[in-house]
Structure 1
Amino acid sequence: MGVVGIVLLLVVPIPAMLLDILIIINIVFALLVLMNSMFVKKPLDFSVFPSLLLVATLFRLGLNVASTRLVLGHAHAGQVIQAFGEVTVGGNLIIGGVIFLILVVIQFVVVTKGAERVAEVGARFTLDAMPGKQMAIDADLNAGLITDVEAKERRVEVSAEADFYGAMDGASKFVKGDAIVGIIIIIINLVGGIGIGMLQRGMDFADAVNTYSLLSVGDGLVSQIPALLMAVATGMIVTRANASSDMGTTAAQQLTQSRPAMMVAGTAAIIMAVIPGMPAFFFLAVGALLLFLGQRVKAAQTAAAKAATLEAISAAPQTETTDDIMAAMRVQPLEIQLSTDLVDLVSGSADDLLARIRALRHKVAMEMGVVVPPVRTRDHVELPEATYVIRIAGVEAGRGNAPAGRVLALGDQLAGLPGTPTVEPVFGLAGKWIPAEMRHSAEMSGATVIDRVSVVITHLSAIVTANAARLLSREDVRVLTEGVKEVSPSIVEELIPGILSLGEVQRVLQGLLGEQVPINDLPRIYESLSLQAKKSTDPEGLIEAARSALGPVIADKYIEGGSLAVLMIDPGLEQSLLEGLRPSELGSQIVLDPSRLEAFLTSVTETNSLAEQAGRNAVLVCAPALRPAIWRLVSGRIKGLPVVSYTEATAGNPTIDTVGVVRVVQSISA
């Protein structure tokens, strides 16, 4: 209805009283928009502003057309325009014209021009930053830090921000055009009014100039004042950065944060008071006020420092008890030590190292079924600069670098980027630590850019996954067993402690985790253990029974596109290996001549390398009886090569794709 009314203003004459009401609404509406632009915390909180700016501009133009029709047709345009003209002109046409021109210059040259430039730059930078923001969202989603819903919301926000700044870039042109139109309309009113007054109304030149200049200036002012308010609101919106409070609160906090600045300004004001001819009282008053506020800031800062000191003292233990010493002696299951310049990684924000560790623990629990113990994070003054160390049970398990103010770029086109060459600690990829401000340039060159926290978390995730068996304590097994007992009490009551002890169950679960087999499905694992333990409690047999129950899960990890790439063992060679199989206290072993054993391992290594060069991630398959012994042999030579039995490989009915056969030229015998 409002937009239709604005359109009608352009074609339908309205009475002077209605024009007065609409002019008042226009001024108050512009003031309301200005106040809202001051109190928003971020630009997107006022995302409708570009559309409101267009509607407000059209509204003012409609009022200009309506007022021009009344000025030229009736030599009267209502009380508001009359009052603005009389008060502003004050009997002097030159003063009124000068004031009007000053308002136009302020709006057009200062406010509008600056807002237009800021909107243009903001739109360009926002669009350039979109790919990086989208990649950051995808990285957080893949790392398990956010859910699909949160990722969707963040993508919508990034898109809305780009749309907003793009719209503001165009909307700023409305403000610029409004200022130009205001000048043109006042000239038309003045020239047209004088002509109509002299030719149609019989006025002499002086009367026509006096009458129509007053109306023209008044009409121009009632249009320019709301236009100036909207221009200022535009400037505030495009220069507003995301903040936790409104502009007034933020300005008050930041202007009074520096005591020296206030003291210097107050002293300067007092010095200016002694200059001859200056109004000393006012300078002294302002200077005294600034000095007073400076002293208040100093007192507040001192009180805050004392309170922080007292809090630290009260929090610190007064005496070191035996329990304190025991706590200090306790070896942490998982620990990250940071050099002193990396303490900023633990900033307390929503995306710092501690928050990412919490997300990692949840991710590992969902994927592997094991609860990662709490990770202790502390600084270590003896570590080299920009170094972090990951320890398991007090022993170093990994070390890396994460220099402050830099991000890790991975890719082949890094020669043109400044930075320190490095090797990514998990996958061994060549990279370079580049300045954070070069992130966009690196992304444009095709490099993958990773922030420091993500580097540490990725390294920690790889170490936790590789050492999941070490991290599974007896207490963890007890807690997991209690969880199974809540949903399947009969399974637990039959197995523990009647058939197997908690320690024997722990050993089986550690054996599964040692080969990266998830233990999420504990009820199924316990069922298989209860059946196998009635025959034998040999740990190796128990582990193989649990693997057999989890066969589809084991194979599913390595299936790509419904196909499982496998490395076969030559049948004759496999038969020789079976003949050499011997039981031992440490599990089954293959007794071979050392040279023949080395030939077998070399063949496995070469066959696996050929498969990797072809882009296939293969698994080594063998007879169920051979699987534990071959895994012990292969795991020491080739890291990460899975060894599965025939029954496990075919459990999910995948398509078997043989990508290599392990052969030894000389026959192997026991």
Structure 2
Amino acid sequence: MNAMATLTRLQAQLFSGTQWKGLAGPILIVLILSMMVLPLPPFLLDLLFTFNIAMSVMVLLVSMYTMKALDFAAFPAVLLFSTLLRLSLNVASTRVVLMHGHTGPDAAGKVIEAFGHFLVGGNFAVGVMVFIILVLINFMVITKGAGRIAEVGARFMLDAMPGKQMAIDADLNAGLIGEDVARKRRTEVAQEADFYGSMDGASKFVRGDAIAGLLIMVINIIGGLVVGMLQHGLDFGTAGTTYTLLAIGDGLVAQIPALVISTAAGVIVSRVTTDEDVGRQLTGQLFSNPQVLFLTAGLIGLMGMIPGMPNLAFLLIAGSLTWLGRRMLKRAPQVTAEQAAAAQAAAMPVAEAAEATWDDVALVDPLGMEVGYRLIPLVDQTQNGELLGRIKSIRKKVAQEIGFLAPVVHIRDNLEIPPNTYVISLKGVEIGRGEAFPNQWMAINPGQVSGTLPGTPTQDPAFHLPAVWIDASLRQEAQVFGYTVVDACTVMATHLNHLIQTHAAELLGRQEVQQLLDQIGKTAPKLTEDLVPKIISLSTLHKVLQNLLDEEVPIRDMRTILDVMAEHAPTVKDAAELTSLTRLALGRAITQQLFPGDSELQVIGLDGALDGVLQQALTNNNGIEPGLANSLMQQTRAAIARQEQLGLAPVLVVQHSLRVLLSRFLRRSFRQLKVLSHAEIPDTRNIKITATIGGRV
């Protein structure tokens, strides 16, 4: 029973429509090879020649009714198989003509006889001329033009692929299309390039077929004369007439389908993709203007009135064009009304056309970059753009240094900004802008250079150092002068890295905090499940981590941070106080970040009198008086300048109770200033005051 069921299932699969469609190609190849090897009777030749003509007409009609080239993507393969079919028929018919041509004009079938006698009136001279003309039309005009169009189309399609891919990525990043639609559009772009490339090569089949048809006819004529005169004893005139008419019929019955197929190839590659087929395009655009019809009718009518001209033909055409133009004028008001109705329908409020849904809400990208059109090669991988790889490295570096994974940077081109400009945005708001020149290098002046360079003066967008854009030929000279020389990709990547670290607190959302907890929960599940949300809420932990990042403190040591939360969160609810307690636990790491190694800490200190004034203001909750605040700002600016002259980090060390107050007040104006408390510095590190704030207060 199982064997019978298996056999029945195999038979069902074999005779199903899908299986037969899959076998069509191999069966056709077997038939083509068989025709080249096995002798065929005249009746079978008639059927095959008729099938060849029918298939060529079918291909032409399909090409006429396609809306775009990919609707007939199998055309290059059809072109190949139809060419092989015609050549195999030529081989089969040549065999029959040479073997049985002496028996009469119907030796190779009725189709060849009809083409040899009826179409050319039995005159072999006329037949030869008609055949040569058809070959020239096919070879020199249609095939050559279609091949050139396919070649240019393939080049343009390959050149346009990066822009199309960028447009698809931009629509995907903007939320205009989904991933499935984007994948489908990318596939269509690749298929279009493959199609035009295949058409460029397939057109060579048709040219070769035309040459082969001409040679086959010559071989049939010469071979027929030799066979008829030497083997069958025919005289020269009889052999020439018989075999020439048979060769002409054979050539015409092959060249007419070849001409039709070539025309179909020209239609496919020369049409412009619209929502109409070729016939509607021709009638809609060629006969759409009544003025053109009237002017043409007038000119043809004047030519028809000239004595000696075929007046009836010219006047008949002129009258037809006049009638068609008047009919279009009568329909003009109706067409105008239809266009106005369509425009009014398009201008209707969106609410009337379709209800808005939540799918219409486009969320802003957490982190985005827009580039001018000259910077597109830097972000296009098909043009060996390096910026995408640099951005991946930046996200990995930030994750390792700061302690969380920054959001993906969505890149799109923007034609509204200058061509060499890029804009970096955070949650839809611009946070940085710069210029980059792909073929030039930026020479940055670190402060001690021994010469000047010709170029475009500018500033390093990340750290605002003086710089100049120079040609690639000056790169080594700039390095000799002491400049730091970087390419355009490095400029953009460094700027993006700086902005990500500067705005790390804003980039850390609750989702990232939850992902951090999930990551720690893999190795220390008890630490996270007992802490959030039983002891501390996710929002409070999020605020503490943001406070740390805002003061450029990495959150890599999440175990220590969570240990502090577990110890103090039950009694301390204020996020600022929890942040201060966390900084105490991370004091060694904070100090090591600012002062690597075990060297002495050369820092800025507070004068004792100013320290007492600030402690009293903090105790009384009076805040800092305006005069004191102004003096404090001026002396802080001078202290920072002194530290920078000495090549030291601008770090201010104060009492722990004053750290939060001074950090909030001073870092608004001096972002580069770091404020530490004495309690955060390990006892093993020595402190040296190199600048003092408040000595004259």
The amino acid across from 1:81 in the alignment is: I
For 2:34, the equivalent position in structure 1 comes to: 8
Quick one: distance in 2 between partners of 1:95 and 1:622?
Answer: 108
Is the contact between residue 50 and residue 167 of structure 1 (CA under 8 Å) also seen in structure 2? yes
Is 1:274 matched with 2:305? no
Kindly report which structure 2 residues correspond to 1:371-520, keeping only aligned pairs within 5 A, or say none: 410-412=438-440, 511=547
Inter-partner Cα distance in structure 2 for 1:424 and 1:302: 60
1:73 and 2:115 correspond: no
1:172-231 superposed Cα distances (whole Å, 9 cap, x missing partner) = 222111111111212222333244334444444554344333322221111112211222
Task: Give per-residue Cα distances to partners, 1:562-590, cap 9 Å, x unaligned.
Answer: xx987649865378759988775799x9x
Q: 1:247 aligns with which of 269, 277, 289?
A: 277
Q: Does 1:62 align with 2:88?
A: yes
Specify whether residues 527 and 11 from structure 1 end up closer, same or farther in structure 2 by C-alpha distance, changes over 3 A only: same
Whether the aligned pair in 1 keeps the contact of 2:138 and 2:262 (CA below 8 Å) is yes
Task: Specify whether residues 621 and 18 from structure 1 end up closer, same or farther in structure 2 by C-alpha distance, changes over 3 A only.
Answer: farther
Residue 572 of structure 2 aligns with an amino acid whose one-letter code is: S
Residue pair 1:119, 1:165 contacting (<8 A) in 2 also? yes
Q: How far off its partner does 1:166 sit?
A: 3.7
In structure 2, stretches of 5+ residues that fail to align are 1-25, 102-106, 306-310, 353-363, 366-394, 396-403, 411-415, 443-455, 471-485, 518-527
**Which of 593, 597, 606 is equivalent to 2:639?**
597
What's the TM-score, normalizing by structure 2? 0.56
Which of 205, 213, 238 is 2:269 aligned to? Answer: 238
> Residue 145 of structure 1: CA displacement?
9.4
Q: Structure 1: which 5+ residue stretches go unaligned? A: 318-332, 335-362, 373-378, 403-407, 415-419, 433-445, 450-454, 556-563, 609-619, 649-660
* Partner of residue 221, structure 1: 252
Matches within 5 A, 1:302-313: 302-306=337-341, 308-309=343-344, 312=347
1:390 deviates by: 11
Residue number in structure 2 paired with 1:112: 143
Is this contact kept in 2: 1:38–1:246, CA < 8 A? no
Measured in 2, the distance between the counterparts of 1:305 and 1:109 equals 47
Distance 1:279 1:23 in 2: 39
Q: 1:594 to 1:470 in 2, by over 3 A?
A: closer
Q: Tell me the equivalent position of 2:571.
A: 535
1:419-462 per-position Cα deviation (integer Å, ceiling 9, x unaligned): x9999989999999xxxxxxxxxxxxx9989xxxxx9xxx9999
Match of 2:211 in 1: 180
| Aligned equivalent of 1:25 | 51
* Separation of aligned partners in 1, 2:39 and 2:171: 60
**CA distance in 2 between partners of 1:145 and 1:465 (Å):** 30
Structure 2 letter corresponding to 1:535: T
CA distance in 2, matches of 1:87, 1:547: 103
Q: 1:501 to 1:215 in 2, by over 3 A?
A: closer
- Alpha-carbon contact 1:567-1:662 (below 8 Å) kept: no
Distance 2:54 2:586 in 1: 72
- After superposition, the Cα gap between the structure-2 partners of 1:529 and 1:105, relative to the gap in structure 1 and judged at 3 Å, is same
TM-score by length of 1: 0.58
CA contact (8 A) 1:387 1:399 kept: no
Q: 1-side partners of 2:216 and 2:674: how far apart?
A: 82
In structure 2, what is the equivalent of residue 83 of structure 1? 114
CA distance in 2, matches of 1:89, 1:577: 111
Judge conservation of contact 2:606–2:653 (CA < 8 Å) in 1.
no
Distance in 1, Cα, partners of 2:652 & 2:32: 79
- Alpha-carbon distance in 2 for matches of 1:202, 1:285: 60
Counterpart secondary structure, 1:270: helix
**Cα pair distance change 1:256/1:10, threshold 3 Å:** closer
Residue 292, structure 1, aligned to residue 319, structure 2: no
Cα distance in 1 for residues equivalent to 2:463 and 2:603: 36
- In the alignment, is the contact (CA less than 8 A) between 2:603 and 2:653 conserved in 1? no
Alignment of 1:631-670 (within 5 A): 633=666, 636-637=669-670, 666=690
**AA paired with 1:63?**
L
What residue identity is the alignment partner of 2:39?
P
- Checking the alignment, whether the CA contact within 8 Å between 2:146 and 2:269 is kept in structure 1 is yes
The 5-angstrom pairing of residues 15-164 of structure 1 reads 15-44=41-70, 46-75=72-101, 76-128=107-159, 161-164=192-195
In structure 2, how many angstroms separate the alpha carbons of the residues matched to 1:17 and 1:430? 84
Separation in structure 1 between the aligned mates of residue 300 and residue 327 of structure 2, nearest angstrom: 17
Kindly tell me: are residues 412 and 198 of structure 1, through their superposed partners in 2, closer, same or farther at Cα, counting changes over 3 Å? same
Cα distance in 1, alignment partners of residues 122 and 674 from structure 2: 96
- Structure having the higher Rg: 2
Aligned to 2:475: none
Amino acid at match of 1:536: V
Deviations 1:144-182 (A, max 9, x none): 999999888777766655554444333222211111111
CA-to-partner distance for each residue in 1:333-363, whole Å, 9 max, x for gaps? 99xxxxxxxxxxxxxxxxxxxxxxxxxxxx9
Shift of 1:605: 8.0
Distance 1:542 1:213 in 2: 105
- Distance in 1, Cα, partners of 2:167 & 2:584: 40
Cα pair 1:116 1:173 within 8 Å, conserved: yes
Q: What CA distance in whole angstroms lies between the structure 1 residues aligned with 2:537 and 2:254?
A: 89
Matched, 1:262 2:289: yes
| Aligned equivalents of 1:38, 1:426: Cα separation in 2 | 58
Contact 2:457 2:469 in 1 (8 A): yes
Q: Deviations 1:492-535 (Å, cap 9, x if unpaired)?
A: 8757xxx8898x8896686467569999xx9x999986864433
The 8 Å contact of residues 604 and 692 in structure 2, kept in 1 or not, is answered as yes
Distance 1:85 1:12 in 2: 24
Which residue identity does 2:343 align to in structure 1?
A
SS of residue matched to 2:46: helix
Task: Look up the equivalent residue of 1:602 and give its one-letter code.
Answer: E
How does 1:609-620 map onto structure 2 within 5 Å? none
Taking a change above 3 Å as real, the CA distance of residues 426 and 285 of structure 1, as seen in their structure-2 partners, is: farther
Aligned-residue sequence identity (percent) comes to 39
Cα distance in structure 2, aligned partners of 1:15 and 1:578 = 113
Q: Distance in 2 between matches of 1:549 and 1:42?
A: 68
Distance 1:637 1:525, change over 3 A: same
CA 1:123–1:258: 2 relative to 1, 3 Å: closer
CA distance in 1, matches of 2:208, 2:567: 85
Note the C-alpha offset of 1:300.
3.0
Task: Letter of the 1:77 partner, please give it.
Answer: A
Q: Per-residue displacement from partner, 1:386-445 (whole Å, max 9, x unpaired)?
A: 999999999x9679899xxxxx9644189xxxxx9999989999999xxxxxxxxxxxxx
How many Å apart are 1:69 and its aligned residue?
A: 1.0
**1:490/1:138 CA distance change after superposition, 3 Å:** same
